[in-house]
Amino acid sequence: MPAAQKNLSPLCQLPAGATGRVWELKGDENFCQRIREMGFNEAALVTKISGSTTSLCQINGTRLALSHAAAMNIIVEKLPSAAR
């Protein structure tokens, strides 16, 4: 499915309790590299727990806190609840 038809948003805008699939990583190389190494690979599933300024989310069983700027650079595709 083309990107335009997908339900894409930055991680910080994903509602609490929703799960998304990592679609794209933006920002500088170092940031992308580090978060990839921490499991934020394209296609990884991430669940938002809480937060709008600072995001709290769960990925691969790990709970991670991300600053607003970091969460803005992670573009996720929101999955319908049945697909999780």
Partner 1 sequence: MADLPSHISLPGKKRPHQANERTPVYALVGNPNCGKSTLFNALTGLKQKVGNYPGVTVEKKIGETYSQHGKPIKLIDLPGAYSLAARSPDEAVTRDVLLGRRADTPQPDRILCIIDASNLERNLYLVHQLLDLGRPVILVLNMMDLALKAGLQVHASRLEKELGVPVIACEAINGKGLVDLKLAMSRVDLSLAKHRWDVPAQVAPAVAELQASLTDSDGRSPLVARAEALLLLTDFDTVRVAGSTPLSPRTHEILAHWQKRWEGEGTDWAGTLVASRYDAIAKICTDVVQSSGEVGPSISDKIDAVVVHPFWGWLVFGGIMTALFISIFTLAQYPMDWIDAGMSALGDWVKRSMTPGELRDLLTAGVIGGAGSVLVFLPQILILYFFIGLLENTGYMARAAFIMDRLMSRVGLNGKSFIPLLGSYACAIPGIMATRTIEDPKDRLVTILVAPLMSCSARLPVYLLLIAALLPTDAIFTKVGIMIAMYALGTSGAFGFAWLFKRTLLKGKPPMMIMELPPYRLPRLRDIALHMFERAGLFLRKAGTVILGISIVLWFLTTYPKLPDPAATSTQQIAHSFAGQAGHLLEPMIKPLGFDWRIGIGLITSFAAREVFVNSMGVVFGVEGADDDTTPLRDALRQATWPDGAPVFTALVCITLMVFYVFAMQCVSTLAVVRRETNSWRWPLFQTFYMTGTAWLVCFVIYQTGRALGY
The footprint of partner 1 (CB under 8 A) covers 27-39, 41-42, 49-51, 53-54, 56, 60-70, 73
Give least dist CB 73 to partner 1, A: 7
Of 7 and 69, which has the nearer Cβ to partner 1?
Answer: 69
Of 7 and 60, which has the nearer Cβ to partner 1?
Answer: 60
Of 5 and 28, which has the nearer Cβ to partner 1?
Answer: 28
The span from the CA of 27 to the CA of 73, in Å, is 6
CB 73 within 8 A of CB 13: no
List 62's β-bridge partners, or say none: 59
Give least dist CB 47 to partner 1, A: 11
Give least dist CB 74 to partner 1, A: 10
Burial string for 2-41 (b: 16+ CB within 10 Å, else e) reads eeeeeebbbbbbbeeebbbbbbebeeeeeebeebeeeebe
